[in-house]
Amino acid sequence: MKHYVILLVLLLSCTQTVQESTIGILIPQTGKAAHLGEELLNGIQLAAKETGNQYKLIVEDDKCDPKTGVLATQKLLTVDDVDAILGPICTVSLLASAPYIEETQTPRITLGMVLQATAEAGDYHFSFLPEMNKQMTAITNYAVEKNYSSIAAIAIDDDLGRESIAELKQALDTNNIMFTAEEYYVNSLDTQETDFRTYLMKIANKDPEAIYILGYVPDSILLVKQAEELGINLPILTWNLYQDQNVIDQLGKLAERVVYTYPEDPKDLPRKIAFKQAYLAEYGEEPGLYAANAYDSYMLLAKALDTCGNHSECIKQKLYNIEGYEGANGYLSVDNRGIGQREEVSIKTARNGKFVTIN
């Protein structure tokens, strides 16, 4: 009888499963960047499907709002007890919730462009998209090629807008291009400005040779339309978020007025091709930069969880050790700040209803 008891204990111990790891997803599902949240979730869910859905996902809506982002982060950490977090994409939400990530030592891969402030958020923060200063350097080089002697800017009034314009001013100054004016508009959870005419007129009155705009897709569409209505025929420059089908659909031929930067690896790598085909088959549309980054971020986090389980220090070190990873966005290596290093930034515009590279 004793032998049967021992055998039963052994069998029970062998059938016990390892505790399932849980990943928190912090994205905007409502508000000014909800379309980006959908793209991010598509990329994450495709990666999860391809890897057998072995990890539990808990999705929270941060609305791209700092207060909401903090509350959602606290819920993921204290109520859901997640082992790692993917997101957010918005800088205001990221910076507001960063102390809670560091306090709990929970690895977090953020999903937006990198500013200096976000690069310094802490040891448990990672981001695999390029720093905004690379885009500002690229657009400045384009301005040099076009012999622009002066540029003015209008941007969203938040950490992303103000720090990005500061990076632009520095790049322009290095290349002896005058920065003539800057205006900032509000697009928050409580206040959404949609009439930019006063800002545009103030900018135009400073006689720049080009205007740089930085905001979310709906803002950029309105800025281009209203500049046209006011007869402001200056070249318009902007950043990667401009590459969105809504721009083509709503601006039509007018979309061709704008030149923008877009971080991308121009090489047709096998992983990139496979991802695009899988995404198109799953969702009926081609993926953008953020979907590809969300896909890569999940894949790399899942790889760390496969090895480390819920041991946060191990997960953190695995993410710091990423080097030469071939993903949906091209090759990626992570530096000692947890930031992905990608060098390629293309100059693009719209032509005949499509986004094309011009440089």
Burial (CB count <10 Å: 0-12, 13-18, 19+), residue 347: middle
Residue 10: the pLDDT is 38
Query: Rounded CA gap, 235 and 230, in Å?
Result: 14
- Strands of the sheet with 345-351, listed across from one edge: 178-185, 150-156, 210-214, 236-238, 258-263, 345-351, 354-357
pTM, two decimals, is: 0.89
Tell me the domain boundaries of the chain: 22-131+268-341, 133-263+345-357
Say if 22-131+268-341 and 133-263+345-357 have the same CATH topology.
Answer: yes
> Using CA atoms, how far apart are residues 317 and 340, in angstroms rounded to an integer?
14
Q: What class does CATH assign to 22-131+268-341?
A: alpha beta
CATH class of the region 133-263+345-357: alpha beta
Q: Which of 249, 250, 243 is nearest to 228 (CA)?
A: 250
* pLDDT tens, residue order, the chain (359 aa): 444 444 443 334 333 334 589 999 999 999 889 999 999 999 999 999 999 999 999 999 999 999 999 999 999 999 999 999 999 999 999 999 999 999 999 999 999 999 988 899 999 999 999 899 999 999 999 999 999 999 999 999 999 999 999 999 999 999 999 999 999 999 887 888 999 999 999 999 999 999 999 999 999 999 999 999 999 999 999 999 999 999 999 999 999 999 999 998 777 889 999 999 999 999 999 999 999 999 999 999 999 999 999 999 999 999 999 999 999 998 999 999 999 987 689 999 999 999 999 97
pLDDT tens digits along 264-285: 877 788 999 999 999 999 999 9
- Where do runs of H (alpha helix) occur along 175-216? 197-204
